Amino acid sequence: MPKLNLSDLAILGGTPEFTKPLHVGAPNIGNKAAFLERVSDILDRRWLSNGGPFEKEFEKRVAEIAGTKHAIATCNGTLALEIAIRGLGLTGEVIVPAFTFVATAHALQWQEITPVFCDIDPVSCNIDPERIEAMITPKTTGIIGVHLWGRPCDTTKLAEIAQRRNLKLLYDASHAFGCTHLGQPIGSFGDAEVFSFHATKFLNTLEGGAVVTNNDELAAKLRLMKNFGFVQYDKVTHVGTNAKMNEVSAAMGITSLESMDEFIKTNYRNYKLYEHHLRGIAGVRIMSFDESERCNYQYVVLEIDDLTTWITRDQIFHALHAEGVLARRYFYPGCHRMEPYKSYFPHAGLLLPETERMSGLVLSLPTGTAVGPDEIERVCHLIRFMIQHAHELSDALSKLPSKQPERPAVPSVSVNVPSLPPMVPSR
């Protein structure tokens, strides 16, 4: 039922709006029967991994969509990033945004490469090319751009900087599969691009990833690297790891590709419904997409300006969670405020004003095939109601026990890295 009084809000003791929580990135499933038929085929063949026919077919289709000569499927997006970084020969320092999922930075740090955090452009929320030059040192070997929420980086400016400064250019395109930029598929920019096909992405392989590239030599190297460096049963010619995609994941990927247009159509419908129902709320802006390009519309992202709404993003976030709307603060608080980086670079926030600002404003809402028009209307009613009663609600929430610190102060140097929580979100 619509909330009529402040006491109706679940965070203040009322009944939650949704008994079954709405998630950001609930998996899109596709044709279940077609998937199970493929799984049965896999079991009958007893070919479960190591370059099976479904993996080869999936790679072929991914390359076609990405507009590249090569697609190297992997067991997850993080390992795809790691082998791409190693395959490109990156060392020393690599410039990367802090406003991204932490795996982008971890893929460098894991290989003892220093991520140098660059600020973002306030409009696109992607790495700001104008800030990159000042961060280049003699140790810099590359740049990693992130097509955040499927919205493309300024590939023209980044390519010019990389070429002029003799740097490798890699893109984390985890959010951008099926999208285009300047009329060409995302996947075909830079030296290579990396996709994630994790369950939360609009197109999933249960868990998986891929590196796409037009570089024949790099592709051959990555294929060796993802399978321990084997070229024959008993011959290893390159250092490698185990990053192979299994056949069940590839089968899910192929099944998902068959429903890809349906997924995009649903996401676009949801995006437009959110846009319609939230129109006219002062201080709330939905991040837009260039509709002249192809986009997957997987992320519905709000910017909440508390100077106008008189209620903070975090207060709305906690109130929505109490209602069963599990919105996400992508990407709070920024990689530079996570370990080990906040200990390594305790004052990085001083160089990242737009990252600091944006990480306190954005809120990602549930979408995908698990969310329908009725749920979206109810979510938007909640947001509108909270903002209409912003002064009273903010005052009431300030009297509740604190859920989590608001914006943390710039941390002191510390050598203690906290242990991981029981569950860490995946790419």
> Is the distance from CB of 194 to CB of 170 less than 8 angstroms?
yes
Domain 32-258 CATH class label: alpha beta
6-24+260-327+366-398: CATH number: 3.90.1150.10
With tokens 């290989």, the residue in question is: 111
Q: CA angle, 202 as apex, 245 and 171 as ends, to 5°?
A: 70
Which residue, 333, 360, 275, 378, is CA-closest to 22? 378
What is the structure's pLDDT at 417?
A: 34
pTM comes to 0.93
Interatomic CA distance for residues 78 and 100, integer angstroms: 13
Interatomic CA distance for residues 133 and 139, integer angstroms: 13
What is the structure's pLDDT at 329?
A: 98
* In the chain, where the domains are located: 6-24+260-327+366-398, 32-258
What is the structure's pLDDT at 416?
A: 37
List Cβ neighbours of 404 (8 Å cut-off, separation of 6 or more): 314, 318
Cis peptide leading into residue 373 (ω within 30°)? no
Tokens linked to 244: 């192979």
Interatomic CA distance for residues 241 and 238, integer angstroms: 10
Q: What is the mean pLDDT of each run of 10 residues along the chain (427 residues)?
A: 91 97 96 98 97 98 98 98 98 98 98 98 97 98 98 98 98 98 98 98 98 98 96 90 98 98 98 98 97 98 97 98 98 98 96 97 97 98 97 94 52 34 38
Judged by phi (left if over 0) then psi (alpha if -120 to 50, else beta), residue 51 lies in left
Q: Which amino acid is at 396?
A: A
In three-state secondary structure terms, 235 is: strand
With tokens 């993802």, the residue in question is: 226
What is the structure's pLDDT at 143?
A: 99
In three-state secondary structure terms, 408 is: coil
Q: Which amino acid is at 347?
A: H
Contacts 24+ apart (CB under 8 A), 126-132: 126/97, 126/151, 126/152, 126/153, 126/154, 127/95, 127/96, 127/97, 127/153, 127/158, 128/354, 129/154, 129/157, 129/158, 129/161, 132/95, 132/158, 132/161
